[in-house]
Structure 1
Amino acid sequence: MTASPSLLIAGCGDVGSRLARRALALGWRVHGLRRQVEALPAGVLPVAADLGEAARPAAWPHGELDYLVYCAAATRYDEAGYRLAYVDGLARVLDWLAQAGQRPRRLLFVSSSGVYGQQGGEWIDEVSPAEAGDMSSVVMREAERLALGSGHPASVVRLTGIYGPGRNWLLNQVREGQWALAQPPVFTNRIHAEDAAGLLACLLEAEQRGAALDDCYLGVDDEPAALHEVVEWLRGRLDVAERAAEAGMRRSGSKRCSNARARGLGWVPQYPSYREGYAAVLADEG
């Protein structure tokens, strides 16, 4: 009888917990690494750890570890905070793997589409230049290179703007009367948190059945949309009539991300556009 695959999710927060529930439903053995392990979903084996500390956690998994998903999130938004979360934290987890003599079949590193600096509304995919020069993007690209050069089979998953329950920044802005200019259109990209977890699960399942994975995937829904369009749709759904004196919503980038590579593996987003996704978020709010 074949043993169930084992998975360690390092940085098991919102998306990681959603992934954990999916893996548990498949009968996988799931370890969740985070500081507050009491927040882990039921059934996840807790690994209490601070990625800022060098010592390997006492609850580090024993034996073989089939898969590692690294999806930590920065809690400080300066360079030191980003470097701790994405570069130094990943380096520590890789070191802990080496100490335990573990060689996962696949490492998934959760990155961001912010590494793309395109501003002209052009369509981009995984082979488009990723040359954004802001601090967070430079650090994230360094972390991507660390993952891909780790000696473990690895894929980078560049998620676009994640939204879902508890991620209310845009909804709050709209409720406060903020709006966006229609011209020139600023294209935005997003993915519901459940679909982000679903993509990670799809990649793991594809590898489990022997599919050859690429080194990079974009996590995005089917329909990039202009910020103005999204905001006006939300204004209608929220019945917000007032507008702030000036258009306060602006974005520095403008690009349209393609999910063709992920769809080629069989992944299908549950929420194909912002309309279905935000409708579900608002329904949950009651």
Structure 2
Amino acid sequence: MDVLILGAGFSGAAIARRLLTEARSVAGTTRSPERQQGLADIGLEALIYYGETISPALRAVMARTTHLVQSIAPGKAGDPLMRPGMPDVSSLMPNLRWVAYLSTVGVYGDHKGAWVTEDAPLDPVSTRSRERVEAEEAWLETGRSTGIPVAVLRLSGIYGPGRNGFVNLANGTARRLVKPGQVFNRIRVEDIAGAVAFLSEKGMGGVFNVTDDEPAPPQDVVLEAARLMGVTPPPEIAFETAELSPMARTFYGENKRVSNAKLRAAGYTFLHPDYRQSLHQMWNEDCWKV
């Protein structure tokens, strides 16, 4: 397979590393020239793409692409490949056989702590989540009209080596915000990569929650990371008195428990099914800083 990852950031780079051993070629895009070199160093054909004009080099990569991972956030103008005036996906990528669109569990909105599955009603709270709903629908419709399997992966809070509670404790930015009854799901970045590899190998389309087994209060995760590090955890801060950015506050306005049963039933086995096992592995193997 020939893979193209549009938006090879934290998740996209992990997906690339996972697929490099299996694919004939893996290309990825970034907005940053500095990031471009880093992607090239791990073996990608790294291209600059700002989500607007498609360069001749990117167009050539698209022409050979069989498997597409779209990780670029849509923004006000919509998904970069679905905007008015863009050529249709089939003409840009005539060899395309499978698509993954990376979305967010934010599309569900607030369910007051209840469990949600892929069939739950969508009621996004934030503008960025409403944009994701529109992009999901556009990609799923593209799949229906072309017959190409499109897998929409709704991701929980992403963490992994280099982006986790240990890092926050080490640099002094960790906080234990407490909002009674609030829980979040999380997902290790390696399991995002694993889910993409699994679904692409099976050629499966549809909507899948890519999330861990254990929705938990965020302060509990900080406490566990501090315990493993052997450091004093930061003091608890009541949510009502906390200074938060508008974006951070919208996260706490959504409370739900997200089920991964559909992806498990399809046959995927999570590498890191809960935050305790995951933090323990990163600490014991000393890979949390990487």
TM-score higher than 0.5: yes
Partner in structure 1 of residue 108 of structure 2: 116
Structure 1 distance, partners of 2:227, 2:265, is 35
Compared CA separation, residues 274 and 59, structure 1 to 2 (3 A): same
In 2, Cα distance between the equivalents of 1:234 and 1:281?
10
Partner of 2:76: 83
Task: Give runs of aligned pairs for residues 234-253 of structure 1, distance below 5 A.
Answer: 234-238=225-229, 239-243=231-235, 246-247=238-239, 248=242, 251-253=252-254
**2:163 equivalent to 1:167:** yes
Paired residues of 1:8 and 1:30 also in contact (CA < 8 A): yes
* 2:103–2:153 contact (8 Å) kept in structure 1: yes
Instruction: Say what the alpha-carbon RMSD is for the aligned residues.
Output: 2.9
Separation in 1, partners of 2:62, 2:80: 20
Shift of 1:16: 1.3
Alignment map for 1:1-286 (pairs within 5 Å):
5-35=1-31, 36=33, 37-41=36-40, 42-51=42-51, 53-60=52-59, 61=61, 63-73=63-73, 82-83=75-76, 87-91=78-82, 95=87, 97-100=89-92, 102-150=94-142, 151-152=145-146, 153=148, 154-168=150-164, 172=168, 175=172, 178-181=175-178, 184-207=180-203, 213-238=204-229, 239-243=231-235, 246-247=238-239, 248=242, 251-282=252-283, 283-285=286-288
Distance in 2 separating the partners of 1:158 and 1:116 = 10
Shift of residue 130 of structure 1?
Answer: 1.4
Alpha-carbon separation, structure 2, partners of 1:138 and 1:149: 17
Structure 1 residues 24 and 121: CA distance shift in structure 2, 3 A: same
In structure 2, the CA distance between the partners of 1:15 and 1:241, relative to structure 1 (3 Å rule), is: closer
The amino acid that maps onto 1:54 is: T
Comparing 13-22 with 34-43, greater Cα deviation is found at: 34-43
Distance 1:157 1:34 in 2: 20
Tell me the CA shift for residue 168 of structure 1.
4.2
One-letter amino acid matched to 1:138: R
Return the letter of the residue paired with 1:107.
V
**How far 1:243 moved relative to its partner?**
1.4
Q: Using the alignment, how far apart are the partners of 2:103 and 2:44 within structure 1?
A: 23
How many percent identity over aligned positions?
30
Q: Secondary structure at the match of 1:31?
A: strand
- Name 1:79's counterpart in structure 2: none
State which drifts further: 23-32 or 141-150. Answer: 23-32
Q: Which amino acid aligns with 1:178?
A: R
* Distance across 1 between alignment mates of 2:165 and 2:233: 19
Gaps of 5+ in 1: 75-81, 208-212
Instruction: Count how many residue pairs are aligned between Structure 1 and Structure 2.
Output: 266
Distance 1:136 1:169 in 2: 25
d(CA) in 2 for partners of 1:177 and 1:133?
Answer: 25
Q: Does the C-alpha gap of structure 1 residues 110 and 170 become closer, same or farther in structure 2, counting only changes over 3 Å?
A: farther
CA distance in 2, matches of 1:94, 1:202: 30
Per the alignment, do residues 241 and 46 of structure 1 end up closer, same or farther by CA in structure 2, a change over 3 Å counting?
closer
Alpha-carbon offset, residue 232 of structure 1: 2.7
If the length of structure 1 is used for normalisation, what is the TM-score?
0.81
Q: In structure 1, what residue type is equivalent to 2:215?
A: P
- Residue 62 (structure 1) shift: 6.3
Q: Is the 8 A contact 1:235 1:241 kept in 2?
A: yes
